């Protein structure tokens, strides 16, 4: 069904190479051109099966850097790929777990812990999407006009609180990445993992803001939402710190715009509060 | 300057050997590696040609090729985005439909990377342009407004050869 001119046979052949190169043993970011080809492939053919197969036949689990780069690639493909990618990823939990088991301790090059925590995060993300299929992998707010969950306060409360759990997990993971920076290295491979985390955390933040505003508008029991407000405010300050630290990483800021949040959390109750910047 | 004359000649030969149509040759020239931007006249001509269905297909095929080119040909990618942007404003409604269906081709360029031999980040231009077009394609209202504005301006200027 691609409306653009493509050649499936060539695409499959190239894909194997793209996966191999994206997960090469060099301690660098997975090359974006190869990750991009994977993402475009899922949109062209509405499947990601060949990508998972390619990852499984490649001997990447023997090398911690290759494993880490594979996880970054998977994360980006789930986020940017056709929605079917997210569904198909649900069947790959075993493979993710085998990644987590592949390195003992911190590994020779210090990626062991990062790999296990990345796998935990991806599993949590997949579980969230399984329970809440109304979100896309990107948490792309622009594509939604409203979410049905806020109509049912109990369901809305749960959706928001689980989304906050995911946000907390991103926060723990990003802190761990910074702790694992090495002075002798450019850290590009580790910083590469921060790129999708910045984007994901901001997508979640925008959703949380507008869902909480909608919840406050519809309920009379504003006190009942106090725990969510408290958590929201704490996460706001956590994100400011995270984005500030990212804004000092030249490699990262050359690739994406790091969001600038207002110093204080925006009001969730006042309907006239300004919209968030895009 | 002579370097680019040689390149233009090589392009003409390739147009012939690859069997590209006239309009495709124009797209190739508008999105070449020459270090100056595509001329407004040329882009206008291409945008007008998108109203012809066959030419529309040929144009999009070539733009698609250029958008998916290698990093060292970042100028191809950048100028293909420039041309696409122009056609979204001044071309047929089909261009808009096509670009929306294939939004991911442009969207995935927002992390395009290319650092040249001198260490200069040439990818930045591509990333910025890809972001602008992605935002435009996701904002139906703005896109329609900009297309209308353009139409009106063209009429006021009394564009002679315009449809």
Q: Which residues contact A220 (CB under 8 A, 6 or more apart)?
A: none
Burial group, residue A110, by CB count within 10 angstroms (0-12, 13-18, 19+):
middle
Structure confidence by residue, pLDDT tens digits, B111-122: 999 988 888 889
The pLDDT assigned to A62 comes to: 92
Q: What does the alpha-carbon distance between residue A167 and residue A239 come to, in Å, rounded to a whole number? A: 9
- Position with higher pLDDT, A267 vs B92: B92
Query: Averaged over B91-100, what is the pLDDT?
Result: 96
**Which of B104, B112, B135 faces A39 most closely, judged by CB atoms?**
B104
Looking at residue A65, its pLDDT comes to 96
pTM of the model: 0.91
pLDDT score, position B163: 46
The predicted-structure confidence for A15-73, as pLDDT tens digits, reads as follows: 999 999 999 999 999 999 999 999 999 999 999 999 999 999 988 999 999 999 999 99
Beta carbons within 10 angstroms of residue A153's beta carbon: 15
How far does B160 lie from chain A, in Å, by closest CA? 33
Question: What's the mean per-residue pLDDT of chain A?
Answer: 91
- DSSP summary character for residue B19: T
pLDDT reading at A255 higher than 50: yes
A211: pLDDT confidence band, cut at 50, 70 and 90? confident
Q: Per DSSP, what are the bridge partners of residue B121?
A: B115
Q: Please return the burial class of A234, using the count of CB atoms within 10 Å of its CB with bins 0-12, 13-18 and 19+.
A: middle
CB contact under 8 A, B61 and A256: no
Q: Could you give the count of Cα atoms lying within 13 Å of A5 in the half-sphere of its Cβ?
A: 13
DSSP string, B44-110: HHHHHHTTSHHHHHHHHHHHHHHHT--GGGHHHHHHHHHHHHHHHHHS-HHHHHHHHHTHHHHHGGG
B9 vs A117, residue with greater confidence: A117
Cα(A223)–Cα(A62) distance, rounded to whole angstroms?
A: 53
Q: A133 — phi, psi (to 5°)?
A: -65, -5
- The answer, yes or no, to whether residue B152 has pLDDT greater than 60, is yes
Give the residue from B62, B70, B71 showing the smallest Cα distance to B31. B62
* pLDDT one-digit tens code per residue, B72-90: 999 999 999 999 999 999 9
Between chain A and chain B, the number of residue pairs with CB atoms below 8 A apart is 47
Give chain B positions within 8 Å (CB) of A40: 68, 104-105, 108
**Residue B19: predicted pLDDT:** 82
Rounded Cα–Cα distance for residues A227 and A107 (Å): 40
Minimum distance, in Å, between the CA of residue A16 and any CA atom of chain B: 18
Q: Do A80 and B121 touch (CB under 8 A)?
A: no
- Confidence band for A276, pLDDT divided at 50, 70 and 90: low
Token pair belonging to B152: 């009106």
In tens, the pLDDT along A215-251 reads 888 877 888 899 999 999 999 999 999 999 999 999 9
| A194 part of contact set with chain B, CB < 8 Å | no
For residue B115, list its beta bridge partners: B121
Asked whether the beta carbons of residue A43 and residue B104 sit closer than 8 angstroms, the reply is: yes
For B64, which of A4, A32, A36 is closest by C-beta distance?
A4
Q: Which residue of B has its CA nearest to A33?
A: B112
User: pLDDT digit string (tens) for B45-55?
Assistant: 999 999 999 99
- pLDDT beyond 90 at B5: no
């Amino acid at each position: 069904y691609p409306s653009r001119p493509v050649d499936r046979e060539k695409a499959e052949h190239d894909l194997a190479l793209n996966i191999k190169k994206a997960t090469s043993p060099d301690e660098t970011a997975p090359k974006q051109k190869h990750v991009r080809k994977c993402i475009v492939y899922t949109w062209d053919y509405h499947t990601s099966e060949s990508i998972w197969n390619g990852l499984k036949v490649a001997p990447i689990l023997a090398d911690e850097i290759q494993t880490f780069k594979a996880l970054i690639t998977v994360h980006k493909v789930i986020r940017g790929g056709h929605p079917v990618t997210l569904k198909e990823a649900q069947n790959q939990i075993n493979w993710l777990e085998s990644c987590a088991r592949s390195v003992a301790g911190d590994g020779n090059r210090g990626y062991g812990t990062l790999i296990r925590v990345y796998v935990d995060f991806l599993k949590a993300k997949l579980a969230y999407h399984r329970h809440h299929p109304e979100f896309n992998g990107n948490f792309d707010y622009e594509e939604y006009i409203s979410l049905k969950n806020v109509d049912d306060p109990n369901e809305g409360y749960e959706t928001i609180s689980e989304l906050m759990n995911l946000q907390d997990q991103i926060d723990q993971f990003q802190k761990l990445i910074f702790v694992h920076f090495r002075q002798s290295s450019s850290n590009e491979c580790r910083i590469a993992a921060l790129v999708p985390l910045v984007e994901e955390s901001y997508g979640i933040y925008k959703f949380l803001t507008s869902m909480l505003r909608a919840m406050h508008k519809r309920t009379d029991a504003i006190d009942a939402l106090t725990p969510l407000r408290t958590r929201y405010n704490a996460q706001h300050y956590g994100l400011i710190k995270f984005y500030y630290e990212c804004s000092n990483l030249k490699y990262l800021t050359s690739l994406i715009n790091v969001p600038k949040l207002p110093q204080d959390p925006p009001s969730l109750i006042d309907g006239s509060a300004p919209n968030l910047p895009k | 300057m002579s370097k680019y004359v040689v390149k233009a000649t090589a392009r003409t030969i390739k147009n012939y050997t690859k069997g590209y149509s006239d309009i495709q040759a124009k797209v190739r020239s508008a999105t070449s590696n020459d270090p100056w931007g595509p001329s407004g006249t040329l882009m206008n001509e291409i945008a007008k040609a998108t109203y012809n269905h066959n030419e529309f297909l040929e144009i999009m095929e070539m733009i698609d090729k250029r958008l998916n080119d290698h990093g060292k040909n970042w100028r191809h990618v950048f100028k293909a985005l420039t041309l696409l942007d122009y056609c979204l404003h001044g071309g047929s409604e089909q261009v808009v439909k096509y670009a929306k269906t294939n939004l991911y081709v442009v969207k995935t360029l927002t992390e395009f990377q290319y650092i040249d031999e001198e260490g200069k980040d040439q990818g930045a231009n591509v990333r910025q342009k890809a972001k602008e077009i992605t935002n435009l394609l996701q904002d139906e209202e703005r896109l329609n407004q900009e297309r209308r504005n353009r139409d009106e301006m063209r009429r006021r200027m009394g564009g002679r050869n315009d449809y």
